[in-house]
Amino acid sequence: MRTTERNSRLQQRGGGAPSFDFIDLFAGIGGMRLALERLGGQCVFSVERDKFARKTYEANFECDHPFPRDIAEISLGRAGVPVPPHHFLAAGFPCQPFSLAGVSKKNSLGRPHGFECKTQGTLFFEIAQILKNRRPALFLLENVKNLRSHDGGRTFEIIEDTLKKDLKYHVVSHVVDARAFVPQHRERIFIAGFREPCGFGFDDLQWPDDEQPVLASILHGTIDDETPEEPYTSLPGITVSERYTLSEHLWEYLQAYAKKHRMKGNGFGYDLVDGFSVARTLSARYHKDGSEILVDQSPRPRRLTPRECSRLMGFDSFINGRFCINRVSDTQAYRKFGNAVVPQVVYTIARGMLAAAAAAGYPEFGTWKSHERMASA
């Protein structure tokens, strides 16, 4: 795609001419990209392995840049797809334990070791390699909130040591609940990194202070001017397809399952919701039976539709339209939204990062402030 066409696309998402370049690692369906494009960024490189996530990503974004399937295919002085220079690295990386066997051996022999020894063989290692070789000004990493306690806290300790001590970045992390933007509780840890010191802090970010949304803002039949969308809804009115209503057998099973675990003092089971509710976290396992979040109706509850999942994750409201999801099955759509990041959260954090970098005199973001004002006008 020509530069002028790309710039036009950015303007439609809230930007003008691109003011910084970013790469989108473990891109999923593009939640981070939506946010960074809104802030005036231009994506110059993406990586995503899952073929169904790639279908959705390509349906919603122009991918005229390198888009390898596996981060192991990239090139940093070796054969593979070259990673271009960039100002901002974004990655929602999978959580993996680190093997300390190599480190322990080198310690016993009195030999020095670095992050290559501690993180070799993990996907985080690939991120660290890019940070080491390309030295982008900023990075934003996202993961489940339990990253801090994963493997007895060792995983997060190694990640922080690698970023701070080995790679010399200034790092701030915080667990953020997306509740301010969407009608679900969704806590994720965000790790913000800066090549040079600046005054960024999560406590200084501007979060919405108006009334928080409830499920009436995303459920079919409760939204003004909603039009039917096959195969999820149809006329008359906005009628949700019967395919999403639980069978008698499944409903009886879920009730028995929940009762059994209540008696044991466990919290497992379904969450029955209506338009006044706030949902629990949408899980990537929602495709199994939809038991986490069920919409109350007669005679039996129903699962959320993929369109409602897109709204629940904030995708539709962020683009003020319908995020394209009909190129994959319902099962895959549930998985992808369950693994996604809420774009509004990334936008708020990244906006604060860019503002702090610009105020600190980062040359890469000298024009960002005026550009972002235009994007938000």
Burial of 227 per CB tally in 10 Å (0-12, 13-18, 19+): exposed
Distance CA 349, CA 339 (A): 19
H or E segment to which residue 118 belongs: helix 115-119
Distance CA 53, CA 61 (A): 12
* Cβ contacts of 104 within 8 Å, gap of 6 or more: none
**Annotated catalytic residue within 43, 95, 117, 198:** 95
The size of the chain, in residues, is 377
Distance CA 296, CA 303 (A): 9
* Cβ contacts of 96 within 8 Å, gap of 6 or more: 122, 123, 124, 155
- Whether 198 sits among the annotated catalytic residues: the reply is no
Instruction: Take residue 68 and report the two structure tokens written for it.
Output: 């390898």
Burial of 355 per CB tally in 10 Å (0-12, 13-18, 19+): buried
Are the C-beta atoms of residues 253 and 246 closer than 8 Å to each other?
A: no
Q: Which residues are catalytic, by number? A: 95
